[in-house]
């Protein structure tokens, strides 16, 4: 039997998908549901504990009490201010050690992973628990990009990767030969909204999402799901392209259905 899994649950559908995978495979698990981040009422009847983000010592005690050996981070976590965080003694010591590295998302992720590993836990990525999450090559719905749109996707992929090297974001929005926007700390949803205001007449914009070249896939991997497609479609986008083997696609069948409903394409680009 596989080791008992600790699921550190933030917002969105990803924690639930991992829980369903564990149930289906008969794998034992315990959820650390982050207060103010994870969905309220989503863990009834399951082994879980609600813990605020700054209560690191409590989280470690809960994981050990549950017999956890392996940990996965799942779901969106909005970074709080120090005032909202209210760090306990363990979190305060962690923040003191990393200091200015809080300014870098990638370094912060690496520091968090190292902290858990230093406490004796093995940290795995969501795709290690559920391999089918990784984007596959090809289209998810009926629509496919034209040759001109594929050239735009190439431009967007280059822009997203350059942005990722600077540890600033994971996505770009393009239309034709123009980059309409780049992802910032506010995330992909904010990028989709902002770039929509810059679209020109003709076929709509394209969202391109990729892994930062230096990124840890064990925490904070790039993700899209049906809601991403639906919102882009509402704002007149032409399509979404994600890097194969590097972006998590939540509920791929629903992604394809949402793309078809919006008259958009949703494609995996590159090779695994």
Q: CA distances (Å), 265 to each of 103, 154, 171, 234, in order? A: 35, 15, 17, 14
Q: Each residue of 75-127: pLDDT tens digit?
A: 988 776 666 667 776 777 776 666 644 544 566 677 788 889 999 999 999 99
* CATH code 3.40.140.80 region(s) in the chain: 134-269
Among 93, 115, 60, residue whose Cα is nearest residue 51:
60
* CATH code 3.40.50.20 region(s) in the chain: 5-129
What's the CA gap between 156 and 54, in Å, rounded?
37
Q: Each residue of 2-34: pLDDT tens digit?
A: 789 999 999 999 999 999 999 999 999 999 999
Q: Give helix 252-262 / helix 226-234 axis angle, nearest 10°.
A: 10
Residue 266 near residue 140, CB atoms below 8 Å? yes
Residue 4 near residue 70, CB atoms below 8 Å? yes
| Whole-structure pTM value | 0.86
| CATH fold of the domain at 5-129 | Rossmann fold (3.40.50)
Helix residue ranges per DSSP H, 188-247:
188-196, 226-234
Q: What is the pLDDT confidence band of residue 42, given thresholds at 50, 70 and 90?
A: confident
Q: Give helix 89-98 / helix 105-118 axis angle, nearest 10°.
A: 130
**CATH superfamily name and code, 134-269:** LpxI C-terminal catalytic domain (3.40.140.80)
With a CB cutoff of 8 Å and minimum separation 6, the contacts of 181 are 172, 173, 191, 194, 195, 198
Task: Give me the pLDDT at residue 53, please.
Answer: 83
Whether the per-residue pLDDT at 1 is higher than 80: the answer is no
What's the CA gap between 39 and 11, in Å, rounded?
6
Residue 1 near residue 17, CB atoms below 8 Å? no
Task: Give me the pLDDT at residue 98, please.
Answer: 65
Going by their DSSP bridges, the two strands 171-175 and 206-209 should be labelled as antiparallel
Task: Give me the pLDDT at residue 103, please.
Answer: 43
Segment among 70-79, 110-119, 214-223 with least mean pLDDT: 214-223
Cα atoms found within 13 Å of the Cα of residue 227, Cβ hemisphere only? 6
């Amino acid at each position: 039997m596989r080791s008992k899994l600790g699921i550190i649950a933030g917002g969105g559908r990803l924690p639930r998908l991992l829980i369903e995978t564990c149930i289906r495979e008969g794998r034992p698990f315990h959820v650390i549901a982050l207060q103010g981040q994870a969905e309220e009422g989503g863990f009834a009847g399951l082994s879980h504990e609600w813990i605020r983000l700054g209560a690191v010592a409590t989280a470690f005690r809960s994981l050990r009490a549950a017999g956890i050996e392996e940990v996965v981070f799942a779901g969106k976590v909005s970074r709080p201010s120090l005032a909202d965080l209210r760090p306990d003694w363990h979190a305060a010591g962690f923040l003191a050690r990393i200091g200015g590295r809080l300014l870098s998302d990638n370094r912060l992720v690496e520091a968090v992973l190292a902290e858990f590993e230093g406490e004796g836990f093995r940290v795995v990525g969501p795709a290690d628990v559920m391999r089918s999450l990784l984007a596959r090559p090809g289209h998810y719905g009926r629509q496919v990009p034209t040759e001109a749109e594929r050239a735009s996707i190439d431009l967007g992929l280059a822009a997203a990767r350059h942005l990722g090297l600077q540890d600033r974001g994971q996505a770009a929005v393009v239309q034709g030969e123009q980059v309409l926007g780049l992802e910032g700390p506010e995330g992909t949803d904010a990028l989709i909204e902002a770039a929509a205001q810059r679209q020109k007449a003709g076929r709509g914009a394209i969202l391109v999402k990729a892994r930062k070249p230096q990124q840890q896939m064990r925490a904070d991997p790039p993700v899209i799901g049906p809601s991403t497609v639906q919102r882009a479609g509402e704002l007149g986008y032409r399509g979404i392209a994600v890097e194969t083997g590097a972006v998590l696609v939540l509920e791929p069948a629903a992604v394809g259905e949402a793309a078809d409903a919006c008259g958009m394409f949703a494609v995996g680009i590159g090779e695994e």
